[in-house]
Structure 1
Amino acid sequence: MGKEKFSLENATIKSIHDAFTKNELTCKQLVEMYIDRIKENDKIGPKINSIIMINEDALNRAEQLDEEFKKSGLTGSLHGIPVLLKDNIDVTNLPTTAGSISLEGIKAERDAFITKKLKEAGAIVIAKTNLHEFAIWGETRSSILGQTLNPYDLTRTPGGSSGGTGAAIAMNFGLIGIGTDTVNSIRSPASACNLVGFRPTIGLISRSGIVPYSLTQDTAGPIMRTVEDSAKVLDVISGYDENDSLTSWSIGNIPKTYTKYLNKEGLRNKRIGVLKSFFGEKESHKEVNNIIYENLRKMKDKGAILIDIDENIDADKLIEDISVHLYELKEDLNEYLRGLGSKIDINSLKKIIGSGKYDKGIEKNIKVAQTLDKRMPEYNKRLFERRKLQNLVMEIMARYKLDAIVYPHQKRPVVKVGESQVERNGVLSAVTGFPSCVLPAGFTNPTKTARMGIPVGIEFLSRRWNEKVLFEIVYGLEQSSKK
């Protein structure tokens, strides 16, 4: 198979490594193919506008890996696999802008912990992707690049805040996508772009070298095309980092490999609670509900035991009354900015606001955040309510003997460009710190602007450190949906 015959559309880590081993493809050829796709589709053609910068050193690294492969074969579990990193994650000698012109040109001196782990496994960072500025909301619009579009409907957003990563993976600009998630930000783009989005237990993945939003709720994770590749990436990026104390809780809670739990019969006898209050009741929710109910039928056919959860949990109230993201933004971001030292003059949220160097879409949130801090009684009240919510979810899971809880990630399709994201349910995982995964569930009816329809994601949540059960469930459903 020559270079021109290798298809990126159905590529997986395994298929790429098989092509390397059979001498049908080289790392350099692969990277060139992905970069060509970026150049042909991101700023021209459909103008997805997802890539902030291409790593000019990617081809050199690919050539090095090709030489190493000739001598000793695959150098690691991700040998030669192209990675797209959300641009709030540090990469040595590349700028980390967090989507803001206030940080333009600021280069990292060392890799983020997860970047280092990916490189050690042989992966190649080929580009950094757009995000909603400072990861603050969900439409993926920034002052550094502007609005990213949804590949399935160019009139719609790709979700967010990691929408640049989601759109780019959907467009086959790379194979591994890495996003961050404080409220919805990995799973929203996965839902909107027909991808797998995995938010792990807080503490499974280090946040060092990542521009923070709210360290109580921040994490990172994969945005991928398949569950199997998601498990392979999570194997690589999880684990203890002395620069993020929360990762010490992961010791003893990480299996040798998550791929062990990729069981086609993984749904059999799983008790899964259907969180009824996370389904919409209006006409605008009908298409999404029908798609989710069809997935529930598939789950029952594969042996899952479904139990209705009647307890009323209101996702919007969780954001309004419990989430601490805006209370932590100022202090957590300021600490990161101070760590940049003399590289930057705009070294606080207050100075960012004063500079005017940001997209006006985040102005309300950052101005509110500037008035809040961790010493306020309301902040401590929210932390107390957070613990009560964690206990409530665990009580529900205990009462019904559940392995997981299921619901639509978003009650209605992802919004049009220019609108603000609404009716997302990912906050339950973010506020509790429990792991969750969004899986492609299907498409709405086709429209003039969405010929295949708009993607819809189904979300599964489990108890802390129970990623292995999530993988069994989502792999079982993914495989049951394949023809």
Structure 2
Amino acid sequence: MRNFEEITIKQVQEGYLSGEFSCEELVKWYLERIEKFNFQGPELRAMITVNPNALEEARRMDEYVKEHHALMGAMHGVPTILKDNFDTKDMETTAGSIALKGWRPPDDAFVTERLRKAGAVFLGKSNLHEFAIWGETISSILGQTLNPYDLTRTPGGSSGGTGAAIASNMGLAGLGTDTINSIRSPSSANSLVGIRPTLGLVSRTGIVPYSLTQDTAGPICRTVEDAARTLAVIAGYDPQDDETAWSAGHVKGSYADSLREDGLKGKRIGVLESLFGKEKVNESTNQVVRTALKAFVEQGAVLIPVKDNIDQVYLSNEVSVHLDDFRHDLDSYLQKLPKDWKIHSMKEILEQGLYHPFSKENMEDAMTREVGSLSYLKKLRNQKLMAKKIMNIMAENNLDAMVYPHQQQLVCKVGDHQLQRNGVLCSSIGFPSICVPAGFAPSEHAPIGVPVGMEIMGRPWTESLLIEIAYGFEQHTHFRKEPVL
């Protein structure tokens, strides 16, 4: 059988149309990879569910090409992995919790349906940090997912199952959600490209919520082009998600025009110095990102140091409302479950012990918080003030984008907590950003090093510009490497 490692969406669809290989052949290859690496070999534990109908769906894609000599849609025959908090009418949706084990929603999430109609073939559902509430990807449904580059480390999170699976070539395109860091964290930790879109560009309908003030969904892929292609399919207005009304006039039918090899030429890029760590533990990450930044200059961009103090700890504690929203918004989903379901609230999950011990502290904290409280309203005000501050920084310096390490230190070891993640900046103010591979830092248990990701952020609705910058950077550097397994 042909080796499909690191193949792209474009290459796959060209192969289908030319008859070089079939969708069934490709899906079989990915299913064998899942079998080989998920619970055997390195035991990555990235996948919760494998779609029993994947091969049948692949055959339908092949029949369509034979009959029409064309593709069904933009994601025709693309083997896709969904984080297990996207509703799927043909597979369980557990959100990583034994409280939802066995739950099969009656309908697809809006994003799931968009992908299905565009021809995506779902390989299955990936592990996540339980209810997507933190960054280590450990759940009561599957346990700890491992980082394929360093099996002693976590894969980031909360979308770490998607990250580990796509990095180790268990699927072609992946979907994650992002409330604080959760698309960009596993992208950084697994040498991948992850896009957190402007809040409102992508619907949240049918996604188990964490904080609807900050929740969004986006692609996790091996290349900028694949991420851009996937984003184009899932973006757009959904009448069931009012937030998406803001996207009217900002949605691109295709982001292909942004895939320019000279995408860095003439761009003014701010280097957000305050988001680089100042401790010894930060040195390896800083070195990787500083070296990667040379590519911007080599390709005609202008780097402008930005000295304004953007404090990651302040953002997490006084700007982000993730834990403030958590109980209220999760309960809104749980209350819609069938009357005979075992739980309908976070309170009942805690009372019945239906959680991983790692999640207990966060859920108990969330139970003490109230949407609409004085502290909550202060945080919403701080979000507006921070958004204005970032817009002013970019205006004063005439910037196209700003860059910084996604995480100030390497992704954490299994059993530890993620620290110093910078993704909270964009998530707390609703701005878009892309995380791209910036290189690798040496580590004892990592054969080729631990991946380090660089985040590129921009003003709202500038996904096309960010993709242009990210693509130009990627095409010049090619930092992405697959893990040694």
TM bucket (normalised to shorter chain) is over 0.9
Distance in 1, Cα, partners of 2:236 & 2:181: 22
Residue in structure 2 matching 1:309, options 306, 310, 328: 306
Aligned length: 478
TM normalised by structure 2 equals 0.97
Partner of 1:37: 33
Pair 1:248-2:248 in alignment:
no
Deviation at 1:10, TM superposition (A): 2.3
Pair 1:94-2:106 in alignment:
no
Distance in 1, Cα, partners of 2:336 & 2:318: 31
Distance in 2, Cα, partners of 1:263 & 1:15: 18
1:236-257 C-alpha deviation (Å, 9 max, x unpaired) = 0000001100001111011231
Distance in 2, Cα, partners of 1:150 & 1:343: 38
Residue in structure 1 matching 2:170, options 155, 164, 173: 173
1:59-98 C-alpha deviation (Å, 9 max, x unpaired) = 1111111111110121111111111000000111211100
Runs of 4 or more above 2 Å deviation? none
TM normalised by structure 1 equals 0.98
Note the aligned Cα RMSD (angstroms). 1.0
Moved more, 161-170 or 25-34: 25-34
Partner of 2:258: 261
Partner of 1:18: 14
Residue in structure 2 matching 1:471, options 467, 470, 474: 467
Decide whether the 8 Å contact of 2:6 with 2:169 is kept in 1: no
Alignment of 1:6-405 (within 5 A): 7-72=3-68, 73-342=70-339, 344-405=341-402
Decide whether the 8 Å contact of 1:48 with 1:150 is kept in 2: yes
List alignment gaps of at least 5 residues for structure 2. Answer: 480-485
Distance in 2, Cα, partners of 1:343 & 1:128: 25
Alignment-mate amino acid for residue 366 of structure 2: A
Distance in 2, Cα, partners of 1:273 & 1:14: 32
Distance in 1, Cα, partners of 2:340 & 2:182: 28
Decide whether the 8 Å contact of 1:212 with 1:336 is kept in 2: yes
1:378-415 C-alpha deviation (Å, 9 max, x unpaired) = 00010001100000000101110111110000111101
Deviation at 1:126, TM superposition (A): 0.9
Pair 1:450-2:412 in alignment:
no
Distance in 2, Cα, partners of 1:344 & 1:65: 36
Deviation at 1:57, TM superposition (A): 1.0
Distance in 2, Cα, partners of 1:124 & 1:255: 23
Decide whether the 8 Å contact of 1:106 with 1:343 is kept in 2: no
Deviation at 1:343, TM superposition (A): 5.2
1:30-67 C-alpha deviation (Å, 9 max, x unpaired) = 11110111001110101000000101011111111111
1:297-337 C-alpha deviation (Å, 9 max, x unpaired) = 11011111111111111111101111111111111111111
Alignment-mate amino acid for residue 459 of structure 2: R
Deviation at 1:448, TM superposition (A): 3.8
Distance in 2, Cα, partners of 1:297 & 1:253: 32
Distance in 1, Cα, partners of 2:110 & 2:337: 17
Decide whether the 8 Å contact of 2:99 with 2:342 is kept in 1: no
Identical amino acids, percent of aligned pairs? 49
Distance in 1, Cα, partners of 2:122 & 2:260: 30
Decide whether the 8 Å contact of 1:187 with 1:409 is kept in 2: yes
Pair 1:423-2:420 in alignment:
yes
1:432-463 C-alpha deviation (Å, 9 max, x unpaired) = 10000000000012x44101000000001000
Pair 1:414-2:411 in alignment:
yes
Distance in 2, Cα, partners of 1:343 & 1:471: 46
Q: Report the secondary structure of 1:83's partner residue.
A: strand
Q: Report the secondary structure of 1:341's partner residue.
A: coil
1:250-270 C-alpha deviation (Å, 9 max, x unpaired) = 110112311111111111111
Deviation at 1:375, TM superposition (A): 2.4
Decide whether the 8 Å contact of 1:89 with 1:210 is kept in 2: yes
Distance in 2, Cα, partners of 1:415 & 1:139: 8
1:417-443 C-alpha deviation (Å, 9 max, x unpaired) = 000000110000100100000000000
Distance in 1, Cα, partners of 2:87 & 2:253: 27
Distance in 2, Cα, partners of 1:43 & 1:221: 27
Partner of 2:483: none
Distance in 1, Cα, partners of 2:365 & 2:212: 18
